Protein backbone atom coordinates (compact mmCIF):
# COMPACT_ATOMS: atom_id res chain seq x y z
CA UNK A 1 0.00 0.00 0.00
CA UNK A 2 1.39 3.39 -0.99
CA UNK A 3 0.97 6.38 1.32
CA UNK A 4 0.73 10.02 0.14
CA UNK A 5 3.31 11.13 2.74
CA UNK A 6 6.84 10.03 3.49
CA UNK A 7 6.71 11.40 7.03
CA UNK A 8 4.36 12.99 9.49
CA UNK A 9 5.49 15.59 12.01
CA UNK A 10 3.69 16.21 15.30
CA UNK A 11 4.29 19.38 17.32
CA UNK A 12 3.04 18.27 20.73
CA UNK A 13 4.89 20.84 22.84
CA UNK A 14 4.49 24.07 20.89
CA UNK A 15 8.07 24.16 19.65
CA UNK A 16 7.20 24.65 15.98
CA UNK A 17 3.85 26.39 16.35
CA UNK A 18 3.20 28.93 19.10
CA UNK A 19 0.17 27.21 20.60
CA UNK A 20 0.87 28.42 24.14
CA UNK A 21 -0.33 31.90 23.23
CA UNK A 22 -3.61 30.46 21.89
CA UNK A 23 -4.17 28.42 25.04
CA UNK A 24 -3.41 31.44 27.23
CA UNK A 25 -5.95 33.55 25.33
CA UNK A 26 -8.49 30.74 25.70
CA UNK A 27 -7.97 30.68 29.47
CA UNK A 28 -8.32 34.47 29.62
CA UNK A 29 -11.59 34.22 27.65
CA UNK A 30 -12.83 31.39 29.88
CA UNK A 31 -12.22 33.37 33.06
CA UNK A 32 -13.52 36.73 31.79
CA UNK A 33 -17.17 35.96 32.70
CA UNK A 34 -15.93 35.11 36.20
CA UNK A 35 -14.49 38.64 36.58
CA UNK A 36 -11.03 37.24 37.30
CA UNK A 37 -8.13 39.69 36.99
CA UNK A 38 -6.62 39.16 33.52
CA UNK A 39 -3.05 39.82 34.70
CA UNK A 40 -3.45 37.18 37.42
CA UNK A 41 -4.82 34.69 34.89
CA UNK A 42 -1.90 35.32 32.52
CA UNK A 43 0.67 34.90 35.34
CA UNK A 44 -1.07 31.68 36.38
CA UNK A 45 -0.93 30.35 32.83
CA UNK A 46 2.76 31.15 32.53
CA UNK A 47 3.37 29.23 35.75
CA UNK A 48 1.94 26.11 34.06
CA UNK A 49 4.52 26.02 31.28
CA UNK A 50 6.77 23.02 31.70
CA UNK A 51 4.54 21.21 34.20
CA UNK A 52 3.14 17.72 33.69
CA UNK A 53 -0.48 17.09 32.72
CA UNK A 54 -1.25 15.91 36.25
CA UNK A 55 0.32 19.02 37.80
CA UNK A 56 -1.50 21.27 35.32
CA UNK A 57 -4.86 19.63 36.02
CA UNK A 58 -4.41 19.98 39.78
CA UNK A 59 -3.27 23.61 39.47
CA UNK A 60 -6.31 24.49 37.35
CA UNK A 61 -8.65 22.82 39.83
CA UNK A 62 -7.08 24.91 42.59
CA UNK A 63 -7.00 28.14 40.58
CA UNK A 64 -10.52 28.22 39.17
CA UNK A 65 -13.30 29.31 41.52
CA UNK A 66 -15.41 26.63 43.15
CA UNK A 67 -18.43 27.91 41.21
CA UNK A 68 -17.01 26.59 37.91
CA UNK A 69 -18.98 23.44 37.12
CA UNK A 70 -17.02 20.22 36.49
CA UNK A 71 -17.73 20.40 32.77
CA UNK A 72 -16.52 23.97 32.51
CA UNK A 73 -18.03 27.06 30.97
CA UNK A 74 -19.57 27.26 27.49
CA UNK A 75 -18.24 23.89 26.35
CA UNK A 76 -14.73 24.16 27.80
CA UNK A 77 -14.17 20.88 29.59
CA UNK A 78 -11.79 21.30 32.52
CA UNK A 79 -11.74 17.52 33.01
CA UNK A 80 -10.02 16.97 29.67
CA UNK A 81 -6.76 18.56 30.83
Residue with more model confidence, 55 or 3: 55
Mean pLDDT highest for which of 25-29, 38-42, 57-61, 62-66? 38-42
Distances in whole angstroms, Cα of residue 31 to Cα of each of 1, 11, 34, 42, 58: 49, 27, 5, 11, 17
**The pLDDT of residue 22:** 85
Within 2-80, strands assigned E span none
pLDDT score at 80:
41
For the cut 60, the answer to whether the pLDDT of residue 40 exceeds it is yes
Q: Is 27 exposed, middle or buried (0-12, 13-18, 19+ CB in 10 A)?
A: buried
In the predicted model, what is the mean pLDDT of residues 31-53? 91
pTM strictly above 0.75? no
If 0-12 CB within 10 Å is exposed, 13-18 middle and 19+ buried, where does residue 1 land? exposed
Instruction: Name the burial class of residue 24, with classes exposed (0-12), middle (13-18) and buried (19+) by CB atoms within 10 angstroms of its CB.
Output: middle
Amino acid sequence: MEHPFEALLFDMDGLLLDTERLFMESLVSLTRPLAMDEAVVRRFFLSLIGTSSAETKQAIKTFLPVMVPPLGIEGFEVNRL
